[in-house]
Amino acid sequence: MLLGNVFQQFYSLIDSIIVGKFIGKGALAAVGTSMPITFLLISLFIGITMGFTIIISQYFGAKDMVRVKKAINTLYIFIFFTSIVMSVIGILISGWIFRVIGMDPSIIPQAKLFLQIFMAGLLFLFGYNGTSAILRGLGDSKTPLYFLIGSVVLNIILDIIFVPILGWGVWSVAVATVISEAAAFISQIIYLNRYHKVINFSFADLKFDREIFNKGIKIGLPTGLQQTFVAAGMVTLYGIVNKFGVDANAAYSVAGRIDNFAAMPAMSFSMALSTFVGQNLGANKPERVVAGLRSTLAITAVISVAVSFITVLFGKYLMRMFTDDPAVIELGRGYLAVIGSFYILFSTMFVLNGVMRGAGDTLIPMFISLISLWVIRIPIATMLSSHHAIGIYGVYWSMPIGWFTGAALSFAYFLTGRWKKKAVVKYSAEGKRVE
């Protein structure tokens, strides 16, 4: 899963490197600002998909393959209709949303076209990610990785052909991404239909199960709302950054790409732990949950320290991969120096939330996330950045402060043990399954 998420980040990393080196910092800012807006538009879907993954993992742990199949079919129907609706919404509001956050008018046309093309291909993005989530719920994290690697390689080849060779604009980078996602989804479905025992994608055989859908919504909606509010917070922060000009926007976008890459280990292990928790609770083995948490915290702590070392000491050189502009490099280096020092807080918060999500308790993590972002981080970013002596560094420092708040609240709730009562598959005191 870690390797898969690392390769997933290559989509945005390669896009940013090629755009920054061959088109310019205006295009770099356009692509960078489009990403959190894209996340805002698709985050509700991502969260609900996680809810279905939890259901699939718990039924799979209980060896209830009939309900596993029903959950998979219901998720695919949800994916199809949701992707169409979100594509239309994204295309219609693409220009308006960039004006709302105060983007420099000179780069809005590039950002608008990039976003419209990206949103037009949501069916492939949702389809691939949904299928990968299903496979992870079944304990298979390798198959999604293989198709993702192929997709990333294709994306890199197309980026190089479209921009440096043909000299096309930033819009062609979005085209390359959509083509790569389509290739990944279609080839994935063809492979699974031939070789997988559980997943057999066929529109004619898909059947909607209202009971499972309601359970998926109940578990996934809080996470989806959390993701939506987090994405809205990211867009709001871009609105604050935009006040400092194109250089600040480009630096924040590039450093954010590196930051996302650095955060991948913690996020990946958290997702793996959620599946681990779901399967073990489904199999009535709750004692393994705490052991899994301890191991995951130890692993992510070691990785976080190593990642912090790299980003803090080599931030300037990482920024140079994307741009040669000195002002952008210096602003990005400052971002990485501040944020990179506190990755252990981020990993702790994410891993603890992974346990609760795996158990099916997604409501409390949603509130914790909203508090750390909207009550702590955004107000602090607004207040500190308004001081001339601090400037954009106020936005940078607000992030670790928010992480600390989230980690402390998550740990406090974990200690209460209430998350154990939220499992979909329940057992009596005698160890018998209760329907």
Could you read off the pLDDT tens digit of each residue along the chain, which spans 435 residues? 777 777 777 767 777 788 888 888 888 788 877 877 887 788 888 888 888 888 888 888 788 888 888 888 888 888 889 899 999 998 998 888 888 878 888 888 888 999 999 999 999 999 988 888 888 778 777 888 888 889 888 998 999 999 999 989 888 989 998 999 999 999 988 887 887 777 776 667 778 888 888 888 888 888 788 778 888 888 888 889 988 988 898 899 889 888 888 888 888 899 889 888 888 888 888 888 889 999 999 999 999 999 999 999 999 999 998 888 999 999 999 999 999 999 999 999 999 998 988 887 878 888 898 899 999 999 999 999 998 889 999 999 999 999 999 999 999 999 888 887 766 666 666 566 665
Q: What are the structure tokens assigned to 179, written together? A: 């083509």
User: In terms of DSSP H, where are the helices of 243-286?
Assistant: 246-282
Q: Are strands 433-434 and 426-427 parallel, antiparallel or unpaired?
A: antiparallel
Phi, psi (deg, nearest 5) at residue 196 = -95, 140
Could you tell me how far CA 386 lies from the centroid of its own chain?
30
Under 8 Å between Cβ of 356 and 281: no
Is residue 74 exposed (0-12), middle (13-18) or buried (19+ Cβ within 10 Å)?
buried
The overall pTM is greater than 0.85: no
Calculate the CA dihedral of residues 189, 194, 196, 199 and round it to 10 degrees.
50
In the numeric block, the tokens 């969260």 are attached to 47
434 three-state secondary structure: strand
**Longest pairwise C-alpha distance within the chain:** 69
